[in-house]
Amino acid sequence: MKIIFFGPPGSGKGTQANLLAKELNIPHLSTGDILREKLKENDKISNVLKKILSSGNLVSDDILNEIVSTKLLSLDCQSGFILDGYPRTIAQSNFLISFIDKNKIIFDLIVFFQLDQNIIENRILSRSKIEKRSDDNQEVVKTRLNEYTKETEPIIDIYKMKFPQIFMEINADQEISKIQFEISKKVKKC
């Protein structure tokens, strides 16, 4: 199964991607997690990345395109994957669409997690207390939400129009188990 999860920060898509990846035994490709792992390397690039991540801004398209294309071609991802946090901009979206065409990758499902802005802000701020993520304070949350609205929201419509048969919209303001059940049900029909 080749799946993309779209949704605002704090919509719970990371949690659901983790659960579904375990259920299907496929890798969960969270670009946020991959970048946070890179920060631990403590080299020149990681110091630049650290500044960008803690500000809430987006990392450059070239870096993300390189990370994701390498992963998608790796052996691990041949039988499937869940892409979480990518694409996030028009440039990434264009890159991905031509990349999948060129490499004959066919998506099975696209899930869009829908959640109101005010619920998102509260959720992320309470998560910051639990996970101590440096990019979860109020100012940074605002930047991340602005980036989402400005850069990512427009591309969701592109996917909805390009892949109408496999596009699923889910109300992300529900119990984790309920959302998990609905996605799982859909996956079984794919």
Residues of the shown chain interacting with ligand AMP in the complex, contacts defined by CB under 6 A:
9, 31-32, 35, 52-53, 56-59, 64, 85-86, 88, 92, 135, 144
Q: Which two tokens stand for residue 21?
A: 């990846």
CB of 32 vs ligand AMP, minimal distance in Å: 2
Intra-chain end-to-end CA distance of the chain, in Å: 9
Q: Which is nearer to ligand AMP, 16 or 92 (CB)?
A: 92
Strand partners, 81: 2
Q: Which is nearer to ligand AMP, 51 or 189 (CB)?
A: 51
Closest CA to 2 of 65, 82, 70: 82
**147 phi, psi to nearest 5 deg:** -60, -40
Q: How crowded is the C-beta side of 103, counted as CA atoms within 13 Å?
A: 16
Which residue's Cβ lies closest to ligand AMP? Answer: 32
Q: Which is nearer to ligand AMP, 51 or 185 (CB)?
A: 51
Count other Cβ atoms within 10 Å, centred on residue 107: 18
CB of 189 vs ligand AMP, minimal distance in Å: 27
CB of 28 vs ligand AMP, minimal distance in Å: 12
Q: Which is nearer to ligand AMP, 52 or 119 (CB)?
A: 52
